[in-house]
Amino acid sequence: MEKQLKSEKSNMTTITEFVLLGFSDIPNSQWILFGIFLVIYLTILMCNSIIILITRIDPVLQTPMYFFLNNFSFFEICYVTVIVPRMLMDLLTQKGNISLVACAAQMCFFLLFGSSECLLLTAMAYDRYVAICNPLLYPLVMNHKVCVQLAIASWVSGVPVVIRQICQIFSLPFCGSNRINHFFCDIPPVLKLACGDTFPNEIAIYLTSLVFLMAPLLLIVISYKKIIANILKISSASGKAKAFSTCSSHLTVVVLFYGTAIITYWQPKTNQSEGTGKVISLFYTILIPTLNPIIYTLRNKDIMVALRKQLSHLLR
């Protein structure tokens, strides 16, 4: 028995790098995908940069709601930049080699920005709750100091948890296949390549997602339950429409963001094929960040007015 274990250990090759397979299953479409994802990435950068610029320079948009939107747009740029440039390089070179350190770094920043977005969306829901349910106290409760504190908390709260999670995952031995059937280093496909018992890591991931995914979602649901109850008390139809319009964009983003995240990290592994997981990942890493600035601009009269005003100044 001891000899058998020794021979098995000797046959194991310790992995020093991974290979991201990406979209290698459709080799004839690599250049088309490169062009599509490049256009999408540039669109995300441009649209979110415009929102950041507009919410900073326009006096009308110097409110807590747009302060949080400013931060959210910055998160979106960082979140997408962790994934897309690397994916574009792999499509261009048709090589997916990535070192363990680079893979760990990509996963770390992806989780950091993802958890920060969850917390920031919760802060935005709280802002809307105070604005609609306690409008007289809104300037006092949501003062600049409180907004900055909530933004900083969104930035830093996930750092120790995510770093610990990454250390636990990459302290596992990786042997045998080093091919990740994904376009970036996400937790589920990387864990599949780990040798030994990954059950403690899976439990840790579920517990972390409870804290950074389900708990914020619960707070958002509670906030919107009270928001909707207050909106229904408004007598005039125009008043109801105006109140709902101030939070409809945020609610749409929450549904899209949390919907795909929950499907990815809470669906049992046996129920999700690698191809399905890859498609869902495209939604929350590329498609939804593309839609978010469109949702926030087209459905927001203040931002549209500010954009027209700035464009008219530029065209003079």
User: Residue 13 has what pLDDT?
Assistant: 56
Nearest-CA neighbor of 18 among 186, 205, 167?
186
Bridging pattern class, strands 179-180 and 17-20: parallel
Q: How many angstroms separate the CA atoms of 127 and 147, rounded? A: 9
Q: Is residue 5 part of a domain?
A: no
User: Residue 265 has what pLDDT?
Assistant: 65
Q: Is residue 2 part of a domain?
A: no
Q: Is residue 128 part of a domain?
A: yes
Q: What is the dihedral of CA 55, 61, 66, 69, to 10 degrees?
A: -30
Question: Which residue ranges in the chain fall short of pLDDT 70?
Answer: 1-14, 264-275, 299
Q: Is residue 7 part of a domain?
A: no
Residues whose CB is less than 8 angstroms from the CB of residue 250 and which lie 6 or more positions away in sequence, other chains included: 121, 124, 125, 128
pLDDT tens for each residue of 190-213: 998 988 788 888 888 888 888 888
Q: How many angstroms separate the CA atoms of 73 and 257, rounded? A: 14
Q: Is residue 81 part of a domain?
A: yes
Which residues are registered as beta bridge partners of 252? Answer: none
**Domain assignment of residue 186, given as a range:** 15-315
User: Residue 10 has what pLDDT?
Assistant: 43
Q: Is residue 73 part of a domain?
A: yes
Q: Is residue 219 part of a domain?
A: yes
| Number of structural domains found in the chain | 1
User: Residue 243 has what pLDDT?
Assistant: 79
Contact between residue 38 and residue 97 where contact means Cβ atoms under 8 Å apart? no
Nearest-CA neighbor of 269 among 199, 177, 170?
199
> Residue 99 maps to which CATH number?
1.20.1070.10
Place of tokens 């415009």: 50
Helix, strand, or coil (residue 18):
strand
Residues of the chain with pLDDT > 90, as a percent, come to: 49
Q: How many angstroms separate the CA atoms of 82 and 315, rounded? A: 35
Q: Is residue 8 part of a domain?
A: no
* Alpha helices (H) in 235-300, listed in sequence order: 237-266, 274-282, 288-298
Q: How many angstroms separate the CA atoms of 292 and 200, rounded? A: 35
User: Residue 112 has what pLDDT?
Assistant: 94
